[in-house]
């Protein structure tokens, strides 16, 4: 019986931790969405906004996006990610010899 009580307590803690994590994740997604839709120079129907929504599926991309300092830099980052997803070389790699 003691093992059962211990197990139930552990499950409650795990649930609580996941709940907190879920709130933090939701906050990060909210920040990213607000940032994406407020990028100066882009309208909500811009294909780059739509692509940005797909990029935000990845937690690492969310963390990167909220730390980029300027709108111009976010737009450049999104364009680079889009060109990489299409198999094009990024601007950083285009002059490095290869293809």
Residues 6+ positions from 21 with CB-CB distance below 8 Å: none
DSSP string, 14-30: HHHHHHHHHHHHHHHHH
Task: Kindly list the distances between the CA atom of residue 72 and the CA atoms of 21, 83, 90, in Å, as whole numbers in the listed order.
Answer: 30, 17, 16
Cα atoms in the 13 Å half-sphere on the side-chain side of 3: 0
Residue 39 burial (CB count, 10 A): 19
| pLDDT averaged per 10 residues in sequence order, the chain, 99 residues | 65 49 75 93 92 92 93 96 82 46
At 46-65, the pLDDT tens digits run: 999 999 999 998 989 999 99
Which pLDDT value is given to residue 24? 72
């Amino acid at each position: 019986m003691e093992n059962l009580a211990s197990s139930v307590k552990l499950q409650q803690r795990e649930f609580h931790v996941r709940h907190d994590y879920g709130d933090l994740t939701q906050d990060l997604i909210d920040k990213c969405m607000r940032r994406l839709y407020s990028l100066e120079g882009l309208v909500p129907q811009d294909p780059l906004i739509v692509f940005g929504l797909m990029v935000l599926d990845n937690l690492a991309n969310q963390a990167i996006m909220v730390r980029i300092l300027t709108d111009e830099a976010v737009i450049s980052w999104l364009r680079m990610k889009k060109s990489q997803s299409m198999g094009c070389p990024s601007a950083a790699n285009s002059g490095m010899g290869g293809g």
